[in-house]
Every structure is written in C-alpha cells, then in structure tokens.
Structure 1
C-alpha cells in the first residue's frame, strides 16, 4: 500500500487516488475499518496520510442522520449499540463516520491536489437499456473536478429481472459514452437510480454481481451522492410517454393492465417477459372486458414496437396472443385476488 501511495503522490491525480482508495476499502470488512485507520494514523507517514485522505474522499458524510431509531434498525448511541449486536447497517455507518473523521485529521498536511478529491461537478446524466431486451439498464453520469481537470464517466449496470439491483460499475473516459446509445436524462434522477440500485443490492442475499463491482462501489456511491437535486425512487417515464395506443375498443383498458405488469421496469421487454404476461400474469391477475381481451394483442404489439420492435419479441406475441381468450376464460387459472374481485357485488367500493 505504501508503495502504491508513493506512486500516486508522484502522479498527482485525484481520480486515480480515489479509485485506489475505493479498491482499498473493498478489501475491508466493516469491523476491520477502525483498526486499519488506527494503524494508518500511528504510521503517520505521508503515504499513510494520503490513504486516510483518499478513503475519506470516497466515503463522504451523508448529512444529518435520523434522530431516532429507524424501523428494523438497531438503536445506536455514542457508546455503542443497544441490544446484543450492532448489525451490518450500524457497522457500515460507523465505518463511514470513521473514514470521514480520519480524513479531517490530515486534510491540511498534504499537497494541494489532494484536497480536490471528491470535489466534482456533475455535467450530465444518461439512462437506457444495455441490451436489446433491456434485461440490464445502464445509468451513466459524467463528472469533472472543480478545476476542470480529469473528466470521467461513471456507468452502473442495473439488473432488471432481479428487481433493479446494481450488478456492475465502471469509471471510464467520457468518450466511452459514445458506444452506449443512451438517452440524456436528469442527472438527479439518474443518481437516485444508482443509489436505489446499490441499496437494493445490499438487501438481497446472494445477489450475483460482477467481480469488478466492489472495487468501484465507494466511488460510485460518493459520485451519486454528490449530484444536486437527487430524486430517489423515481418512476421510469416510458409508460407515461407512450403515444402509440391502437385506436380500437378496449385498448386503454388493456394498456392499463400492461402498465401495471411492467411496473417500474418498463425497459425490460424480452420474449420470456411477453410470454409470462400473456399466458400467466393476465389469466391469473387481470379482470378484463371482452373488448380489452380482443384489443390486448394489438396493444402488446404496439408496446413491443415502442420498445425496439425486436423480431423475437414480435414472434412471441404472435405465438401467444391466439391463446389469450381461452386462458382468460379458464377460471382455474385465476388467482385469489382475481377471484375475490370477480365475486364482489357491482356497487362494491
């Protein structure tokens, strides 16, 4: 570590140093952070102080913490945690606080370029599918340091079939964006989606992610949190922007159920998802008028064209759509909620 830090001191690159610190943090468990920082402080050398400053830069304080215990979280006090164990969330919070405090101690003892770490300006955001069927989405944000140097691009891959969790991330030159085919988007919304995706990944046990994700995690989170106007839990506007509804009776009703199915992941539209919608979800969940059942194939084709019109998707619609009337009429396929809805009296609220 000392040798690597010595090289970084010669390069004078805030970006390289932050990426190095992110990799360094990835190798530490939360309960290892404070002993490691204590060892660096005791060392006291320039290289150790650079490590402290860099670790603090990629673990910025998130602002004021909630004043009371949060649902499902342990109660934390200044002397520790009430209860038998602190829990992973408490350990992670303490680790970030420890990084920030350790960095403050050395802020004025290092070359001036070190103080530019973490002080970035977001210059744009982009969002869109990573593959033909949108099974992964890409969230991209561009940054440069306050002095205008070292422009760079953060790209986070967000898995759609498993709920929208972060599965990979890279920091590249801004020209990397040219090959991604993404549409411009509000940076605050994109940054919020990045934070949402990482937060979901932390809650999913056994989530399969790329081996490169952990090394970039700290920088990715720090960059996303630095974007002004953060919007958490933003809905994708693809459904609201859809304007190609077929002019047939029942189309609006049919599209309403399609919108319910795609939910907050409308970019994901693969042959398998089409088939699940037409042959499983609709018969189990949806109560539709005869007009809406008749309109559904045209509605699904129109939505599929909007999502890229991939031949494999359209072939799947053609294969499954003729089965829909019989499936909708088969009461044995209806789920509990659908049965209860159908059994309600007409004036039921």
Structure 2
C-alpha cells in the first residue's frame, strides 16, 4: 500500500476516533480489508504497527474485529488467491488443505496475527485505545428473518439483527442470495433496523439464517466469475464475521417451505405428482417463476419423470395448489393454464425422455 493510502487510512481513523462508533469503524475496516491487494497486506500492517499512533492502533484493532481468517477451517476468507507469507506456509509435515474455504465458528484475530499476518508489537487487541473500541465485534444476534426478495423468489433475503454489548447501535445485516445460480450471495448491506419495514419477511431461527449466509458466501467463492453487486466485497468481511458471531449455527439447513405445504388436492395421483414437484424444486423451493413453472411442465417432467396416468392427470391441480401457496402470482397461474394442457402429450412422447428415464423404463 502506498504512503498516500496509508496516510488516508490514518486520517480516516482520526475521524473515527472522534465519532466513537464501533459499527461505523467496523464498516470502514471491512471496506479497507476488502480493498487490500495481496501484496499490500503485510507491508500495510507492519507500517501501522511501526507508526504506533492512536490512529494506527485503531486501524489494527478495527481490522482485527472484522478479520475472519482465524475463524476458517482452511484458507483466507478475504482473498483465497492471496499468496501466503513464509510464516503462513504449511511445514513439510503438515497436510495441505483440500478444496475451498470452509467457514467455522470460533476464533478471533489474536496474538498479533491480523488478516493472516503476524504483526510485530501487537498482542491480541490490547492496544491502549478508548473503551468503546473493545466493543467492536462484541455483538449479540437478537432476531432473524428469511424470505423472498421479489415476487418469484429469484432472490431471497437473509436478515440478522444485532446489538453491541452495551445495547447501542442496533443494526441488521441483509444478504441477498441468488436462487437460479445455486444460492450464492450476490449483495449485502448493513442497515438500521427500520429497513426491515419494507422487506415483508417472516421470522426464522438465527442459527439457520446465519448458516445460510455462510453457505451463500462459501458457494460464491467456489464459482469463478460469479456476478455479484459491486458493493458486496466491501461488506463481505463484516457480513461473515457477523454470521460467525451467531450462536447455534446450522450449516446446509433444508428449506422448510415444502414441509409447510398442506393443501394437496384430494384427487388420485396427487401425492405422486407432488413428490416429482418436490424433486424438481429441490433445495430452492421459494424460487417459483413463470419460466420455472414452464420448465417443469414442458421440459423436466417429460425428460426426467416416470408418472402414472393418475399422476399426470393430477399434476396441473397439484402445481396450481403449490403456486397458490408459494406466492399466488397471477403470471405463474397463467403459465400453468398455458402449459398444462400439453402435459399428457409431452409425457407420452418417448423422444423427449432423457437417458436416465429411458434406462429406467427398460428395466423389467
């Protein structure tokens, strides 16, 4: 990091010392951490430690508060492609980590290690700073919400609310999770609690929602060139740190929407038809758009599903019942009316069957 950038960081830290806001300082530190290039991290941290001013010490403490490297089972959560320094490289008798990063609860930057770098002269967060600095990262998750971000659930929102230990600066973390591309995090913001008023989300278990946030970030890190909001990298370190602070984390939690559906039509074949619908929507049941309905009725069922005549006949009513339960969107219901009459013909067309279906049909 250039001397100019270092001077800018110190000047911003001087303003933050006057503001005395843990939240504002953590958000600033997350942006700062996200903006560091791989080769800049260690020189920047060492320059801060050597400077020794209150502004530099605040910067180190703030970076430690949003540091998620010490809470990962493997890898650096700030930059997976960052080349490790010599003291970070595994010794010859250590097993290399396999796969991408995996977020696990527990651990903070301490013992002078910040952003995966050992910083001389720094021991934990004992930096002789004002008492409010110690509240950074010391938050309690109070509530959580989860639900659709748009009428068709193509994006869901995971929301967690927090307060600091002194009860001040309540805030929420809102993470947008893309559904068509597998459930990766595409945007995140930290807002005042009143931001919830416009979201219309249902309450959920904090540990489950926090787990979904971590799952979404982890998936995004596995996808090369994933399309995300330009603002996401600057919030990512704080968002992950907040999710890791939630007690009772539940990773890879199933979505309970399918289990909450109890309006199955009382017609022959309905249960069989719904089982195929559940197989299609999989782990992302809130995503239910006209395009997805059409894909199910005109493509997936003829290609993948072996159904009895009763299930084929029941399928339109089952899909309508599910659609009314899952948003009751007029455009979705119109799409069903357009595609459902073609279903018996499509299911009878053997040329549309995929390989797995054809092999299954050939079995005695």
* Aligned partners of 2:138 and 2:165 also within 8 Å: yes
Q: What is the aligned-residue RMSD (CA, Å)?
A: 2.6
C-alpha distance in structure 2 between counterparts of 1:62 and 1:294, whole Å: 56
Please list every run of 5 or more consecutive structure 1 residues that lacks an aligned counterpart in the other structure: 67-72
SS of structure 2 residue aligned to 1:141: strand
Question: Which residue does 1:32 correspond to in 2?
Answer: 40
SS of structure 1 residue aligned to 2:42: helix
Please list every run of 5 or more consecutive structure 2 residues that lacks an aligned counterpart in the other structure: 1-8, 75-80
C-alpha distance in structure 2 between counterparts of 1:337 and 1:249, whole Å: 26
Query: How far is the alpha carbon of 1:35 from its aligned partner?
Result: 2.2
Question: Which residue does 1:223 correspond to in 2?
Answer: 242
Structure-2 change in CA distance of 1:268 and 1:64 (3 Å) = closer
Structure-2 change in CA distance of 1:89 and 1:104 (3 Å) = farther
Query: How far is the alpha carbon of 1:87 from its aligned partner?
Result: 10
C-alpha distance in structure 2 between counterparts of 1:19 and 1:134, whole Å: 29
* Match of residue 317, structure 2, among 291, 298, 318: 298
* Aligned partners of 2:57 and 2:127 also within 8 Å: no
Question: Which residue does 1:58 correspond to in 2?
Answer: 66
* Match of residue 163, structure 2, among 133, 144, 153: 144
* Match of residue 203, structure 2, among 184, 187, 211: 184
Question: Which residue does 1:310 correspond to in 2?
Answer: 329
Question: Which residue does 1:99 correspond to in 2?
Answer: 115
Please identify which structure carries the higher helix content.
1
Structure-2 change in CA distance of 1:341 and 1:87 (3 Å) = closer
* Match of residue 89, structure 2, among 62, 80, 91: 80
* Aligned partners of 1:53 and 1:104 also within 8 Å: no
Structure-2 change in CA distance of 1:343 and 1:170 (3 Å) = same
C-alpha distance in structure 1 between counterparts of 2:192 and 2:71, whole Å: 30
Answer yes or no: is 1:195 the counterpart of 2:203. Answer: no
* Match of residue 2, structure 1, among 3, 10, 13: 10
* Match of residue 258, structure 1, among 257, 270, 277: 277
TM-score, structure 1 normalization: 0.90
Query: How far is the alpha carbon of 1:104 from its aligned partner?
Result: 3.8
* Match of residue 277, structure 1, among 265, 274, 296: 296
Query: How far is the alpha carbon of 1:185 from its aligned partner?
Result: 0.1
C-alpha distance in structure 2 between counterparts of 1:162 and 1:152, whole Å: 29
SS of structure 2 residue aligned to 1:107: coil
Query: How far is the alpha carbon of 1:316 from its aligned partner?
Result: 0.2
